[in-house]
Amino acid sequence: MSDTTRDRRPDPDALLALTDEGRRGRLKIFLGAAPGVGKTFAMLANARSLKAEGQDVLIGLIETHGRAETAALVEGLDMLPRREVAYRGRTIEEFDLDAALARKPKLIVVDELAHTNAPDSRHPKRWQDVEDLLDAGIDVWTALNIQHLESLADVVSRVTGVNVRETVPDSVLQKAWDVVLVDIPPAELIQRLNEGKIYLPETARRATQKFFTPGNLTALRELALRRTADRVDDQMVDYLRQNAIEGPWDTSDHLLVCIGADEGAEMMTRAAGRLATRLNASWIVVHAERPGHEETDPVRLKRLDAALHLAERLGAETRRLIASDIVGELLRLARRENVTQIVVGRARTGLWRRLTGSGFVSALAARAPDIALHIVNTPEQQEPTRAFRLAARPKRLWPGLAAAVIGVAVAVGVGEALALALNLPNLSMIFLLAVLGCAASFGLWSAVAASFLSFLAYNFFFIPPIYTLTIAEPQEVLSLLVFLIVAVLTGSLAGRVHDQAAAARQRAQNVESLYDFSRKLGAAARLDDVLWASVTHLHKVQGDAVALLLPEDGEVRLKTAWPPDRELSAGDISAAQWSLDKQELAGWRTNTLPNLAMQFRPLLSPRGAVGVCGFVPKTPDAPLAPEQERELTALLEQMALAIDRSLLIGEAVRAAALEDNEKLRTTLLSSLSHDLRTPLSSITGAVTTLRQFGGRMKDADREDLLASIEEEAARLSRFVANLLDMSRIESGAMKLRRDYIEPSESIRAAAERSRKTFPGFRIETSVARDLPFIQGDAQMLEQVLFNLLDNAHKYGGEAGAVIHARQEGDTVVISVTDDGPGVKPADLARIFEKFYRGGRADGRKAGTGLGLSICKGLVQAMDGAIEAQSPAARRRGTRILLRFPAARMKVAAT
């Protein structure tokens, strides 16, 4: 195959995307620049045309806004009843998603894609309801205004001065099967507004003054046209890739976007989303922090969480990093992900950083010359600087400041005492010890405070003139400044070491927690033990309340919870089912049933979702911190693997049982077909011969046939008895007497029975004198010995068998030895298995394979043991050994 032919193959990713679209419903979006352009009208007109062609069309929800011509198009179409919801003292009507899924039409029309649902709805946004419909294979038509597109919300706000609160992720538009642009010129749209065809007169007058201005409408129209053109371009590229049409295929761009927790995080995310859309590029949004300096301010954490969720809605992948060298870690991620462009915000830097070029952006540019750098202007910071924001964390700051004051006061006292006792020229080292002590105990800011307090105290108490802040000798100024610099540097370094040590301790605790959890899971064999260990550990380290749910017949069932009496509401069950089906997060702070107190996460293993974990966070008002998120993710991954392992063990046991049952059934059928058919055929043949020719047969021949009938009937009887005995042994229905029996009597009875059954088969017995009694059932022992003699007759031939009984200590040993070919060493343990049959000397299978298995069951029921040896003492044949404990006779007192 030539390189040209190979290069012209269809793109596998494009074909896979096409296959996925075939399984989902098709989404058609009627896109407009502003309200009133005719989106709903065009959508209903097309729906009526399809209805006239006989297609199944359902109106899920339409908002006519009082427009008569739009309401006229709804008449005659099937309407889905709306769901009534009580909200703030009034009743509102919402789209009924469950009813639509139950109805499952070919096509459903759902207006106003950006609508926000009522609080008790399954999803907070209507576009998420549409996703459910598409996943169910239902085609959806919907309408959308360009200002509701997520990445354009800030642009529209700047252009029109109107804040857009209801938005739709750009990925919804990108994944749409078809986008229809409904457009009219701004002048005509304003005329329609003035004529009352869009809003009521008073509302229309206010709209004309604020939103519906020629400039605003022109800008919105341009945005709609550009976005539609981008969509058409994407469709063309997909078509070319799917059909392997040649063209200059450039490597696609990959963006890395760095955001913080400041006010410009969301604006920067939207700007990066627009850039990624224009470049048709994939992108990653990253937030990086240094160890020990993780963000804890609830306001900033909420802002960061909102920016990351926004990035996910816009189609980005999100990451959180913790590294001492943030620039280096970002560049490692960029090279690992083949990033071509990095997007950062314009940070405010101090004079020193501007002069030295040591800022974050400068470091990125210097260390990554091969990666393009985009700098996005963000709004001026309206919040306090980092140093002052530390005051919002008094648990950490104020104890450090108090320690600095106390440490410096102690240093002054020690210095005064030493000055009285010794004539020391320099006491600055004492204050340096105070600085280092504060740094080691309370971190950086305590050390900095101690440095400045030591500077002032040393000058006030120990540099002449004392008790003033003036300095008499010029050289003392230099000494004091050097002391201050050394104190600040050493305190800063010691403080950083303290912060890094605290972060290392936290990571060590997390690792220890994971190790302890993995050890618990490793020791848990049963599924119930795994679930209980998981829920108790997760409650201890992560949540307020925890629940684990597993699927049964496609529906989740609560298996265990902490507290144990925890019950889940119907909303919790719905969220857990959604999480299992979609393998996505649901509940608290997610896009599905976000008003719930619990968050549900799927437990994903290599085989898919094996369950769902729900938990109530310790701080419901704030998102999980990055460290908590990483720990929770690691715990859930281990939990999923442990549950999957337990399920696999259970499935393996069931599969082995099914395999054994299948093997048993096959062997039993084989035995029945052979061991029942053969004697029945012999009996039937002999009886038929006697009936037809009995009067003309010789007496000797007639006796032979009767003997054959008797022999085959006895053989059939033994086979049926063996089957019954085996079933009684396995079911536990066989009841054995516990009598004192003499082994020699059972041996003699079994030998006599065998001689009658197998005429010509030589049987020798050798029983030691004064053989003690054993406890058991005499008839069962006789049956065991008879089965062993039967086995010797089948496999040992006519040479005969020897029964020997002797005493070995407190054990009675009975052996049955034949003179046959023996048993292979590998088969010695298997001969006691059900339906295992060794071959005859001619290679044919003999017997049913139940005799020795029955022997094993009966011997064990009498507290004995059975084993096989081959070759026997004469280097030939097989020996079966039975060992029974000698009975201890109780002598009655006289």
Q: Does 234 lie in the same domain as 220? A: yes
Answer with the residue of higher pLDDT: 183 or 697: 183
CB 92 within 8 A of CB 85: yes
Count of C-beta atoms within a 10 Å radius of residue 301: 20
pLDDT of 574 > 80? The answer is yes
What is the pLDDT of the chain when averaged over all its residues?
A: 77
Q: How far apart are CA 253 and CA 368, in angstroms?
A: 16
Report the run of H or E that residue 19 belongs to, with start and end.
helix 12-23
Q: What pLDDT does 805 receive?
A: 92
Specify the pLDDT at position 780: 80
Q: Which of 58-72, 512-526, 604-618 is least confident?
A: 512-526
* Of 195-209, 493-507, 782-796, minimum mean pLDDT range: 195-209
Q: Average the pLDDT over 111-139 and give the result.
A: 89
Q: Are residues 170 and 296 in the same domain?
A: no
pLDDT at 144: 93
pLDDT of residue 795: 77
Q: Mean pLDDT lowest for which of 150-159, 727-736, 787-796?
A: 727-736
Residues 123 and 139 both lie in one domain = yes
Neighbouring CB atoms inside 10 A of 873's CB total: 10
- At 588-630, the pLDDT tens digits run 888 788 888 889 999 988 888 889 999 988 877 777 777 777 7
Whether residue 108 is predicted with pLDDT greater than 90 in this model: the reply is yes
Q: Report which of 576, 608, 603, 604 is spatially closest to residue 590, judged by C-alpha positions.
A: 576
Check whether residue 79 and residue 214 sit in a common domain.
yes
**Alpha carbon distance 551, 530 (integer Å):** 16
Instruction: Scan for tokens 């509401």, then name that residue.
Output: 569
User: What is the C-alpha to C-alpha distance for residues 583 and 600, in angstroms, rounded to an integer?
Assistant: 10
Calculate mean pLDDT across residues 44-50.
Answer: 92
What is the DSSP code (8-state) at residue 673? I
> Which residue has better confidence, 547 or 714?
547
Predicted pLDDT of residue 237: 61
The 10 Å Cβ neighbour count of residue 629 is 12
> Which tokens belong to 63?
């908002």
pLDDT band at 701 (very low <50, low <70, confident <90, very high): confident
Q: What is the pLDDT of residues 835-856, one digit of tens each?
A: 666 554 334 345 556 667 778 8
Please tell me whether residues 763 and 826 are part of one structural domain.
yes
pLDDT in tens, 387-432: 333 333 444 567 777 877 888 788 888 877 877 777 666 676 777 7
CA–CA dist 671, 431 (Å, integer): 97
Please, which residues bridge with residue 586 across strands? 600
pTM score above 0.85: no
**What CATH number does the domain containing 308 carry?**
3.40.50.620
Tell me the C-alpha distance between 255 and 253, whole Å. Answer: 7
Which amino acid does the sequence have at 250? D
Write down which residue in 222, 242, 262 finishes a domain. 242
92 and 224 in a common domain: yes
Q: Which pLDDT value is given to residue 392?
A: 37
Residues 341-360: what's their mean pLDDT? 65
The answer to whether residue 348 is domain-embedded is: yes
Structure tokens at 281: 């590029």
Kindly tell me if the per-residue pLDDT of 54 is higher than 80.
Answer: yes
Tell me the one-letter amino acid at 708: S
pLDDT at 394: 44
Find the farthest-apart pair of alpha carbons in the chain and give their distance in angstroms, rounded.
Answer: 153
Whole-number Å distance between alpha carbons of 718 and 730: 18
pLDDT-derived band at 516 (thresholds 50, 70, 90) equals confident
**Mean local confidence (pLDDT), 52-76:** 87
Phi-psi region of 772 (alpha: psi -120 to 50; beta: other; left: phi over 0): beta
Which of 343, 367, 389 is a domain's end point?
389
Q: pLDDT confidence of 56, banded at 50, 70, 90?
A: very high
DSSP code of residue 675 = I
Asked whether residue 741 carries a pLDDT value surpassing 80, the answer given is yes
How confident is the model over 547-570, as a mean pLDDT? 87
* Structure confidence at residue 758 (pLDDT): 79
In a domain, 304, yes or no: yes
Q: How many CA atoms, within 13 angstroms, populate the side-chain half-sphere of residue 343?
A: 26
Beta strands in 172-277 (DSSP E): 178-182, 254-258
Are residues 130 and 165 located together in one domain of the fold? yes
Between 293 and 301, the higher pLDDT residue: 301
The DSSP bridge pattern shows strands 763-767 and 865-869 to be unpaired
Q: Is the pLDDT of residue 314 over 70?
A: yes
pLDDT at 491: 63
Residue at a domain's end among 453, 483, 502: 502
* Lowest mean pLDDT, pick from 187-196, 803-812, 857-866: 187-196
Statement: residue 475 has pLDDT above 70: no
- Residue 47 in domain: yes
SS3 for 767-816, per residue? ECCCCCCEEECHHHHHHHHHHHHHHHHHHHHHHCEEEEEEEECCEEEEEE
Look at residue 485 and tell me whether its pLDDT is greater than 90: no
Domain match, 231 and 374 both: no
Distances (CA, A) of 3 to 6, 9, 241, 251, 496: 5, 10, 17, 19, 58
The tokens for 715 are: 């053989």
- CATH number for the domain spanning 747: value is 3.30.565.10
Q: What is the phi-psi region of residue 748: left when phi exceeds 0, alpha when psi lies from -120 to 50, beta otherwise?
A: alpha
817 and 762 within one domain: yes
pLDDT at 306: 82
Looking at the fold, whether 568 and 489 belong to one and the same domain comes out as no
CATH of the domain at 58: 3.40.50.300
Q: Using CA atoms, how far apart are residues 676 and 74, in angstroms rounded to an integer? A: 77
Establish if 601 belongs to a structural domain: yes
Phi/psi of residue 38, nearest 5 degrees:
110, 25
Q: Which two tokens stand for residue 834?
A: 């059900």
Which residue range(s) make up the domain with 421?
Answer: 393-502
**Measured in whole angstroms, how far is the alpha carbon of residue 50 from the centre of its chain?**
43
Which tokens belong to 447? 């050390």
**Count of domains for the chain:** 5
The pLDDT value recorded for residue 883 is 92
Is the per-residue pLDDT at 685 higher than 90?
Answer: no
Q: Tell me, yes or no, whether 584 lies in a domain.
A: yes
pLDDT, position 366: 82
Residue 875 within any structural domain of the chain:
yes
Q: Is it the case that residue 19 has pLDDT exceeding 60?
A: no
Structure token pair of residue 764: 């020798």
Q: Hey, what are 122's tokens? A: 């399954």
- Same domain for 206 and 295, yes or no, is no
For the chain, give the percent of residues with pLDDT over 90: 11
How many angstroms separate the CA atoms of 546 and 541, rounded?
11
pLDDT at 390: 37
Residue 521: inside a domain, yes or no?
Answer: no
Residues 215 and 161 sit within 8 Å (Cβ to Cβ): no
Question: Which pLDDT does position 2 carry in this prediction?
Answer: 44
Average pLDDT over residues 684-697: 78
Report whether pLDDT(831) > 70.
Answer: yes
206-220, 500-514, 624-638, 671-685: which has the highest mean pLDDT?
Answer: 624-638
Instruction: Identify whether 20 is part of a domain.
Output: yes
303 and 370: one domain?
Answer: yes
Is 265 or 12 the better-scoring residue by pLDDT? Answer: 265
| Lowest-confidence segment of 320-324, 499-503, 880-884 by average pLDDT | 499-503
Q: DSSP secondary-structure letter at 385?
A: P
